[in-house]
A and B are shown apart, each in its own frame.
Chain A
C-alpha cells in the first residue's frame, strides 16, 4: 500500500531567451522615456523592429507524473531536455510557470555537493554549516557527526580548513554530509559524477541503501545509464521539455537510447585537410551505419580509410583503438599485426583500406575510434583522437529485458549455448 508522495500536475516552465531588459536601470529608463515620446528605441539593434521580440523557450511542457513512497525514479534525457529544470522546481529553487507539484513529507535536494562550504572553515565547521543548509538541525548533525566523518575518511584533517583539502577529500566530505541526510524524499542530480571510481561506487551503494533498505523515495537524474539501471526501478524520459516515456527503468533507457535520433556528438565520418607529412589519412568513414548507429546484430563493423602517401614508406602501419564511453579501451589493433600486412609495400598515392571488426561483440553503448598512422620507429604521421564515434544499439528484448547490456561486462560477445 504505497501512497503517492509526489504528484506533479502539468508542470511547465517558460524562459525568455535573450536579453529582455537592456541590463541596466538607466538603459531601461531611457527606453521607456523614448517609447513614451514615440521615439525609436535607442537600444534597438539595426534591422530589428522590436527589441521585445525575444525568443521563447519552454524548458518544461506539461509534465505530469506520480511517485510512490519508496520508489526510486530515474529521470533521463539529453542535455537541455529539462531534467535540471524539473529538479530545480521540485527543490524550490525556482517556480513553475504553470502547473503544480504536491509533495508529502520532508524533501531534500542535492543538486550539488558541498553547497555553502566555506573554504576558510574547518571540516568540522563545514559539516555543521552544510548540514544545516541541507535542512538538518544541529542536534541531528551532532548525532551523526562521527558517522559522517567515518564515511568521508578525512578524520585526520577534520579541523583543517577545507581550502587545504585535496579536491577528492573535499568532495568526499561534502558527499558524506549529504548522504546522511534523512529526508523522506531525496532529489539527486548527477552528484555521482565526482570523485574516483571507488568513491562513486560507495556513493551509489549508499543511495541504494537509502532507497531499497530504508524505503525512502529517491529521484535521480543521471547520464550514467548503468547507475540509473542499478538504482531505479522506474524512469521517465524527458525530451525537449516534454515527458516522452514513463515506465520501467530498462525500457526507459532503451527508449532514450534509441529514440535519440539526433545522435548528439556522434560522427560517422571525417575528412582531413592536407598536412605537411609524408603520409596522412584523408578520410575515414564508418560504413553501414545509419546516423552513426549500428545494430548489435550487424555482422561486421566496417570502417573505411582513405590514406595518402607521398612516397613508399617501409614499416608504415595504421593503428586503431576503440574506446567505450567510460574510457575503457575495448579494441587495439593495427595493420601490421597480421601475417599479411596490407601496408607493407605501399605505393605512393591514395590507398583505400577496409577495416572490418567483428559484429555481435560490442555491447550497446557509445564508442570512439582513435587512429594513428605511423612507422615502427615511432614516427607518427597522423594521429586523431576520437576521430569517429558511433553507438551500438540493441533492440533485442528477452523477457522484457535488454539482455545484451550485460551490466559489469566490458564486451557482449554472442555466446553459444548448446546441449550435447
Chain B
C-alpha cells in the first residue's frame, strides 16, 4: 500500500542521492536545451568578429605553419616522409578535438555556477553540449585537412594511401570524445573544491601533447621514451588516424582497445563523480 503511494510522486528530493544516478531520462527531456547550448556557443563566439567562423580554420593553419618552421625546418624532426603540412595538420585536427573537449568541460561547474545556482536542469547537458560543439569544430577542421590532402594529391603528385581503416574514424572520434569528456568532468568535479585543478589542466594538456605523437611519429622515439606512446591512450588514436589517410605509421588494434578501455573507464568514473557532485556543489563552489 505504502509502496504504491510512493509511486505517485513524480519527484522525490531526498538527502541521500542514489549511488549512481545519471538521470538520462531527464537529459533526454532537455535535449532541446542541449542543442541550444551548442548553438549559443557558436553564435556567441563570433558575434562582433570580422572573420567569424574563419577562425576555426585560421587557428590550426597558423599553428601548423609554426610547427613547420620550428619542428620541421629548425629542429629537423622527421615527418615519416610525409609533407610536413599534412603531417602536422592531421595530428593537430585530432589533438585539438581532444584538447578542446577536456579544457572546456573541466570548467563546467565553476563557470556555470551562476546558472546552476538558480535553476535545475540536467547538469550533464553542459559538458555534453561542449563535446558536440567541438565535434562540429572538428568537422570544419577535418574538411580543411581534406582540402589540403586533395591539393597535395592533385598538384604535388602526393601518393594517396587512403585505406579501409578510414572506416575506423567514428571509433577514433568516440574514443577522443569519451576521453576528453571523461577526464574533463572528473576535473570539473574536483575544481568545485580545489581550484588548483584549473591551472593543472591548462598546462597538463599542453604537456600531454608533447607526450603524444602530434609533432613526431611514434616510430622515431628512442626506446627509453617509448613508454610515452605505449601507455598514452591518445597515441594509438592519432597514429591510427594518420595510418588511415597516409598508410604511414602504425595501426595497432591492441592499442586502440586499450584506449577504448581507458576512455570508457574515465567516462564512467567521471559520470559517477559528476552525478555525486552536481547535487549540492553549490554549497562548496
Contacts and interface: CB of A to CB of B under 8 A. Distances in A.
> Do these two chains really belong together in a complex?
yes
Interface of A: 7, 15, 21, 24-26, 28, 88-107, 109, 111-112, 115-116, 118, 120-121, 125, 128-129, 132-135, 137-138, 161
A120 B44 CA distance: 6
Interface string B168-211: 00000000000000000000000001111100000000000000
A94 B44 CA distance: 29
B62 interface: no
Nearest to B35: A138
Contacts of B40: 118, 121, 125, 129
Contacts of B12: 100-103
Contact of A133 (B39, B47, B121, B283): B121
Contacts of A118: 40, 44
Given A24-B194, A132-B32, A95 B14 contact: yes
B15 A93 contact: no
> Which 6 residue pairs of A and B lie closest in terms of their CB atoms, listed nearest first?
A132-B33, A92-B120, A25-B194, A102-B9, A138-B32, A120-B47
A104 B13 contact: no
B10 A97 contact: no
Residue among A24, A106, A132 facing the most chain B CB atoms (10 A cut-off): A132
B33 A89 contact: no
Contact of B10 (A91, A103, A133, A134): A103
Given A21-B193, A100-B12, A102-B12, 12 more contacts: A7-B9, A25-B197, A28-B194, A89-B13, A92-B11, A93-B118, A95-B280, A103-B11, A107-B11, A120-B48, A132-B33, A133-B121
A97 B17 CA distance: 11
Contacts of A100: 12-15
Contacts of A128: 36
What band does the interface of chain B fall in when counting residues whose beta carbon is under 8 Å from A?
35 or more
Contact of A95 (B13, B36, B44): B13
B258 interface: no
Contact of B117 (A90, A93, A133): A93
25 contacts: A21-B193, A24-B194, A24-B196, A28-B194, A91-B120, A95-B17, A96-B14, A96-B15, A97-B15, A100-B13, A102-B11, A103-B10, A103-B11, A104-B8, A107-B11, A115-B114, A120-B44, A121-B40, A121-B44, A125-B40, A125-B43, A129-B37, A132-B32, A133-B119, A138-B36
Contact of B121 (A88, A111, A135): A135
Given A25-B194, A102-B12, A107-B11, A93 B44 contact: no
B282 interface: yes
A95 B43 CA distance: 34
